[in-house]
Amino acid sequence: MTIYDWFDGPYPARVRIAIAEKNLQSQVRFESINLWTGEHKTPAFLAKNYSGTLPVLELDDGSLIAECTAITEYLDHLEGPPTLTGRTSFEKGTIHMMSRRAELELLDAISVYFHHATPGLGPEVELYQNAEWGVRQRDRAMRAMGYFDALLKTQPYIAGTEFSMADITVIGAFIFAAIVQLEVPAHYTALHAWHGRMQERPSVQAWNRMVEETRAAA
């Protein structure tokens, strides 16, 4: 399998963490698509993913799967029982609900803020920007932080009692928040405590090491 991604991208991080959680590293090769030069918007890459987003999974037969949740779903059922996307109908529904909330209200909102209210990926990539919309989405993300903080006061993980794809989505949001220097308020103690626990997971530590090593080698 080939994963097309960019080494420190928040969305690619979600799939890399999922791969590590499933111990599939030996079955995957990574091919870099440079976000900062707009390589993900070129005709060659758009032929692989109409949306022009990363990451994308290409199977050995040439089949392509885009979108983090879809890729994670595939990986989670590749070998052994699912551990990230739920086993029972209720678990599956709850995990997908919470992951989608984390995307819409937090991660994607931070992404819109980045692309519209900051220099983003630069003028050659950011062909249209609406700063007011970007700021509105930043505020939306801040409200979502409060929602997840309240949630984590009642349960240990985003979708309930076990680590799941929904937690990985919020980890991605924290990664993006750090990139845009969007500080998670200190009084969201449950959210910070959860994030601290997530940083202790081997899969997240492996991603952090990879980023540090890649940057050092650049």
CATH number belonging to the domain at 2-83, selected among 3.40.430.10, 3.40.30.10, 3.30.70.1350, 3.40.1800.10: 3.40.30.10
Query: What pLDDT does 44 receive?
Result: 96
- Answer yes or no: are the C-beta atoms of 155 and 98 closer than 8 Å: no
Q: What is the pLDDT of residue 4?
A: 98
Q: Please tell me the distance from the alpha carbon of residue 41 to that of residue 89, in angstroms, as a whole number.
A: 37
Report if pTM > 0.95. yes
List Cα–Cα distances, 209 to 2, 85, 169, 202, in angstroms.
Answer: 21, 25, 19, 10
Percent of all residues in the chain with a pLDDT value above 90, rounded to a whole number = 99
Helix axis angle, 165-179 relative to 108-117, nearest 10°? 20
pLDDT in tens, 22-67: 999 999 999 999 999 999 999 999 999 999 999 999 999 999 999 9
89-206 is classed in which CATH architecture? Up-down Bundle (1.20)
pLDDT of residue 46: 97
Mean per-residue pLDDT of the chain:
97
Q: Who contacts 41 (Cβ-Cβ below 8 Å, separation ≥6)? A: 52, 125
Residue 217 has pLDDT above 90, yes or no: yes
Q: For strands 64-66 and 56-58, give the pairing.
A: antiparallel
Q: What pLDDT does 168 receive?
A: 98
131-160 pLDDT, tens digit per residue, is: 999 999 999 999 999 999 999 999 999 999
- Give me the mean pLDDT over the 53-82 stretch: 97
Strands (E), 64-108: 64-66
Q: Give residue 111's Cα distance to chain centre.
A: 11
In the chain, where the domains are located? 2-83, 89-206
DSSP bridge partners of 32: 5
Does the pLDDT of residue 218 top 90, yes or no?
no
pLDDT of 201 above 90: yes
Type and span of the H or E element at 29: strand 29-32
Residue 3: helix, strand or coil by DSSP?
strand
Q: How many residues does the structure list for the chain?
A: 218
Report the alpha-carbon distance of residue 128 to residue 100 in Å, rounded: 26
* Cβ 76 vs Cβ 83: under 8 Å: yes
Two tokens, residue 170: 């919020």
pLDDT (tens digit per residue) in 91-124: 999 999 999 999 999 999 999 999 999 999 999 9
**Distances, alpha carbon 50 to alpha carbons 68, 76, 92, in Å:** 15, 24, 27
Report residue 113 as tokens: 């803020």
